[in-house]
Amino acid sequence: MNLNIDSKSPLPAYQQVSQSLRLEIVSGRLREGDQLPSIRDLARLLRLNPNTVAKAYYTLEQEGFIAGRSGSGSWVTYKPGRSDALRRAMLEDEFRGFLQKAMALGFGAADIKKIVARFVNHE
């Protein structure tokens, strides 16, 4: 699992946790039936308030990514590929951030297209 909390990000910590878990699940690194760490273990690992982790898990449950039974932990319930729209939305989110940086550096659409094409072809 690859979970990082950026303490400089203005995004609330629970959203950072749910976002990185969503990414793990959608990308298939966490699969249907995999058990998630307990709230206590994840809170200690990431040095977060247990309430923050609980809130992230609750969000993911509402979205249908995981299911939990109190006292016995949480499992991934999402089958990858079920929703391409979601993966696309996540990619677009990442891309929007990249575009904003590129534009702040003064690049236009043509430059950006060229760079993307070069990277896709060679790397």
Partner 1 sequence: MNDAIISVANLEFAFKRKKVFQGLNVIFAQGESVVIAGRNGAGKSTLLRCLAGVYLPDRGEVRLAAGLERRRIGYISDSLSLFEDWPLERAIAFHVRTFGAAAFDDRLLKNLGLSGRERIRQLSAGERVIFHLSLILSQQPELLLIDEILHLIDPYIRELFIDALIESMASRPVTVLMVNHTFNDIERIPERIMIMDGGGFILDESAETLPQKVKKIVFRGDVPAGLPCLFVRESGHIRECFVYPFGKGLSRRFSGQFQDIGLAEIIKAFIGGAYAQKRVD
Q: Smallest gap, in angstroms, from Cβ of residue 95 to partner 1?
A: 18
Q: Smallest gap, in angstroms, from Cβ of residue 21 to partner 1?
A: 16
Q: Which is nearer to partner 1, 10 or 81 (CB)?
A: 10
Q: Smallest gap, in angstroms, from Cβ of residue 42 to partner 1?
A: 10
Q: Which is nearer to partner 1, 26 or 48 (CB)?
A: 48
Q: Which is nearer to partner 1, 26 or 46 (CB)?
A: 46
| Contact partners, residue 69, CB within 8 Å, separation at least 6 | none
Measure the CA–CA gap between 90 and 19, rounded to whole angstroms: 9
Measure the CA–CA gap between 117 and 79, rounded to whole angstroms: 31
| Contact partners, residue 30, CB within 8 Å, separation at least 6 | 1, 21, 24, 36, 76
Contacting positions for partner 1 (CB under 8 A): 5, 7-10, 12-14, 39-40, 43-44, 46-52, 100, 104
Q: Which is nearer to partner 1, 25 or 48 (CB)?
A: 48
Q: Smallest gap, in angstroms, from Cβ of residue 24 to partner 1?
A: 19
90 by Cβ neighbours in 10 Å (0-12 / 13-18 / 19+) ranks as middle
